[in-house]
Structures are given as C-alpha cells and as structure tokens.
Amino acid sequence: MGQLPSGSGKAVVMLDERVSMTAKSFLVYWNNIPSPYMVERFNVLADRGAFEFEAWFNDRIEPGRSWDVDESTWRFKFRYLPTTRIGKRVLHWPLPSFGRRPDVLVSLYAEPVFILGWLVAKLRGAKTGFWAEVTFDRWIKRRAYKTWIKRWLFRRVDAIVTVGDDGRGFAERAGASVEKIFYAPHVIDVSHYANGARLARQNREQLRTDLGLHGTTFIYVGRLWWGKGLDYLLEAYEIVQARFSNEISLLLVGDGADEAKLRQLCIERGLRHVVFAGFKQKPEVPRYYASSDVFVFPTLGDPYGLVVDEAMACGLPVISTTAAGEIRDRIEEGVNGYIVPPEDSAALAERMLTLAQDGALRERMGKTSSDKIKGHTPERWAEDFERIVHTVFEKPPT
C-alpha cells in the first residue's frame, strides 16, 4: 500500500510530476450521487486549487442509501442535473453539458445520461475520462449491444481512471488500450477513523456493555442485503459458535431490504449475541469498529468495498471474500487478514475461528492493517488525480 499497483507486469501508464499548464483548466467530475467518500476527495481537490473544479450529480441520494447529505460542508462548486418524472421513472437531463464547456470531463458511463453528456462534451472538444471499476456478472444483465457500446466508448475516451489491477483488467477487456489507463486508488478519511477508534477504545468496555457484546466480536458494516453474503456470514457464525467454547458476538451495522429476513434467520438458527445496530452516520462509525475485534466482509460481489479500508484504519484484521475488487492490494493473506471464496460458509468459519482463538494474532494483524492504510488519504487521491488530469490535458486529441 502507499504505491500505485504494478499492473502485473503490463505497461500501465505511470504518471510523471510534470505540471506545465499556466492557466487553470476547467475540470468537471460527474458522479451519480454525492457519496461521503467522494465529497471528502472533492473538498481536498478544490482546496488545492490546481483547477477550476466543479462536480455534477444526477441525484442527491439514491434508494437504499441512508447517508446524510449536507451541502453546507462542501467546499467545491456543484450542480444537480434537472429531472423529469414520468410515472415511476425519473429522467435526468445532461443540460450542464450544453453550457460552459469543461476542458476536462471525468464521468461514469453506465447510464444513458452519462453517455449523452460525454458525447456532447466530446463533440465540443473537451478531453474526457471515465471512472471505471471492476463489475460483476452477478449484478449486471449482459447484453451484446451493451458490450458493444462499452467497447465503442472505451476506445474513444481519452482516459480510463481506475483504482487498481482488477479495474485495469476490466478496462482492457472492455476495449481500452493500456496507454489510456491511469490509477487513482481509493482513499478514505484515515485520520477520522483512526483517531475516532482510538478515542472510543478509552471507553470500550462500557460501549460493549451498552451494545450487549460478549467475547470476541465480529463486525460487518454496510447494507443488509443478500448481495453482501450475510446469510453465509450467519451460517459461518453458527459454525463458530458451535465449535468455540467461549462466547462470541456478531455486530451488524447498517440497514437494508433484507434486515427482517436476517433477523428471522437468527431466530430460526438460535444464534446468540447477534446485534443489529442500525445505520450509523460517519461520525458514529469508528466507535463501532472500536468495540469489535475482527471485520468480516462476506460480499458476493463489490467493485471495491471501502468499509474494508475503514476497518483497517481502525486497526482491525479483515476477513473478506475474493469477490471484493482490489482486495489483494489491501489484504495480505495471513498478515493482516484472510481472503476466502464467496458463498463458502465453512471456509469463512475456519478463518473466524482462527482469529477468535488467538488474541495476539488479532492484535498483530490489526496493527498491520492500520500501517498499510495510513497513506491512503483524500490528499493522496487529489495528488493522483491532478497528475492524471494534467497528463490527459497535454495529450494530443483522440
């Protein structure tokens, strides 16, 4: 961690430090929603002042997300796209694309509104980039025409920005040439999680008592939805509870469509000490990590999973499935956690049992986790992104 991925020996573009533009370029980053993770990065990008920066968003929030959105804390210019509701459908209109032309537009690409806006910007002479992460067949209905459109787009955009080797491979398979692929690894507000967890541990026992936690505590943070593999986590927890002589607990932090189903599974299986804490906003989250001993991410498919990074910043060992994107860049097997196949409750239970039985191992792994993630800050992302934008801006048109 702390260095850009190597690209498995392939000639992925590594960026130099040249900054030769004398006038500030107008940079627009177009995202679907203002997630807390992106707002942190955009604030730093705006503070650094390398560009005239503006963010566009399709929506303020999306279904299934409970984040607070407080624009008063944003330090960057932004726009929400105008919408039209037709029955249950909401149509977004890329009208900002027809206004002042950005010098550089970086956007998503998987919805028609992004494609239309990209096409307008491209025809008007803007340099363009797509933010691309690995996707999973489990979530996406594959259609031949969609594959063709994606290949057509990836061959014509000026740059693909991705977070690691998994994203690079995805972009190459989708038609991007290697010289167009740039790395800007994901980051989090490391100091918030590390400092918050450290302070919370001063009252850890009281917090655990208040939550009803007993013994070694496994924690999951995220949506309570079948795609996160939580039914397999409950199966694994049942196995560990049956085999381990001491008490253990499972803390689930989040909300979602399958919460009632998961609660019922706990009752049917007679699982003890499973605590549903509900959704928590960013300021509250570190104390829940601090109350726990091991983070478990049983996902069946995630482009990344930033909660892994949060847990690492809070000093926890991590057990994740292989279905989390870029997971091998973050978790070193047997060093700061374990990686298991998805949908494999037995393998997950074995790793949970190993960590439940060995407090010294948990402590060593947790220390390694915090060391590995400490440099992955919004400032680091802003630096990476600035170099990408300058490099793309200076390239000849494609």
User: Which CATH number covers residue 32?
Assistant: 3.40.50.2000
Residues 287, 328: one domain?
yes
Residue 11 lies in a domain: no
Q: Model confidence over 318-357: pLDDT tens digits? A: 999 999 999 999 999 999 999 999 999 999 999 999 999 9
Handedness of CA 11, 17, 21, 24 (dihedral sign): positive
Q: Which domain holds residue 79?
A: 26-187+377-394
Does the residue 14 lie in any domain? Answer: no
Q: Are residues 364 and 383 in the same domain?
A: no
DSSP reduced 3-state for 351: helix
Rg (CA), the chain: 22
Instruction: Give 274's strand partners.
Output: 250
Handedness of CA 230, 231, 232, 237 (dihedral sign): positive
Contact (Cβ atoms closer than 8 angstroms) between residue 167 and residue 326:
yes
Considering the domain architecture, whether residues 333 and 217 belong to the same structural domain is answered as yes
CB 31 within 8 A of CB 38: yes
Site of tokens 């990476």: 384
Q: Is 125 left (phi over 0), alpha (psi -120 to 50) or beta?
A: left
Percent of the chain at pLDDT > 70 equals 91
Comparing CA positions, the residue from 105, 134, 102, 122 lying closest to residue 31 is 105
Q: Would 341 be classed as within a structural domain?
A: yes
Beta bridge partners of 162: 183
More confident residue, 44 or 84: 44
Are 297 and 220 in contact, with CB atoms under 8 Å apart?
yes
Average pLDDT of the segment spanning 114-123: 94
pTM recorded for the entire structure: 0.90
Distance of CA 260 to the CA centre of its chain: 25
Both tokens of 168, joined, read: 């690079």
Question: Are the beta carbons of 55 and 34 closer than 8 angstroms?
Answer: yes
Residue 136 has a pLDDT of 62
Residue 21 lies in a domain: no
pLDDT of residue 37: 96
Q: Which residue has the higher pLDDT, 313 or 14?
A: 313
Residue 278 main-chain phi, psi, to 5 deg: 85, 175
Q: In angstroms, rounded to a whole number, what is the distance separating the alpha carbons of residues 91 and 334?
A: 48
- For the residues 105-125, what does the mean pLDDT come to? 94
Q: Average pLDDT, whole number, for the chain?
A: 91
| pLDDT band per the 50, 70, 90 thresholds, residue 4 | very low
**Would residue 38 count as lying in a domain?**
yes
Residue 352 sits in the same domain as residue 300: yes
Residue 56: what pLDDT?
A: 97
- pLDDT for residue 87: 73
246 and 367 within one domain? yes
- Mean pLDDT, range 279-304, rounded to an integer: 98
pLDDT at 142: 66
Residue 2 inside a domain? The answer is: no
Query: In this structure, what are the phi and psi dihedrals at residue 247, rounded to the nearest 5 degrees?
Result: -75, 150
Residue labelled with tokens 């010294």: 360
Question: What's the whole-number mean pLDDT along residues 279-292?
Answer: 98
Q: Which of 133, 140, 174 is nearest to 157 (CA)?
A: 174
Query: Domain tally for the chain?
Result: 2
User: Residues 47, 160: one domain?
Assistant: yes
Segment 384-389 shows an average pLDDT of 94
* DSSP H/E element including 296: strand 294-297
Collapsed DSSP state (helix, strand, coil) of residue 148 = helix
Question: Average pLDDT in the 60-83 region?
Answer: 92
What is the predicted pLDDT for the residue at 21? 43
Whether 157 and 205 map to the same domain: the answer is: no
The answer to the question of residue 13 being in a domain is: no
Q: How does pLDDT run across 138-178, given as a tens digit for each residue?
A: 556 667 888 899 999 999 999 999 999 999 999 999 999 99
Do residues 109 and 200 share a domain?
no
Residues 195-232 pLDDT 10s = 999 999 999 999 999 999 999 999 999 999 999 999 99
Query: Are 129 and 159 in a shared domain?
Result: yes
Residue scoring higher pLDDT (143 or 136): 143
CB 383 within 8 A of CB 8: no
Secondary structure of 43-93 as H, E, C letters: HHHHHHCCCEEEEEECCCCCCCCCCCCCHHHCCCEEEECCEEEECCEEEEC
For 275, the enclosing helix (H) or strand (E) is strand 274-278
How far does Cα 380 stand from its chain's mean position?
A: 16
| Three-state SS at 294 | strand
Q: How far apart are CA 62 and CA 34, in angstroms?
A: 10
Q: 166 and 67 in one domain?
A: yes
Judged by average pLDDT, the poorest of 64-68, 224-228, 262-266 is 64-68
Determine which of 97-101, 116-120, 301-305 has the lowest per-residue pLDDT on average: 97-101
Task: Output the six-digit token pair for 234.
Answer: 């409950």
Whether residues 283 and 155 fall in one domain: no
Q: Is residue 3 part of a domain?
A: no
Same domain, 230 and 365: yes
Q: Which residues pair with 57 in a beta bridge?
A: 31, 80
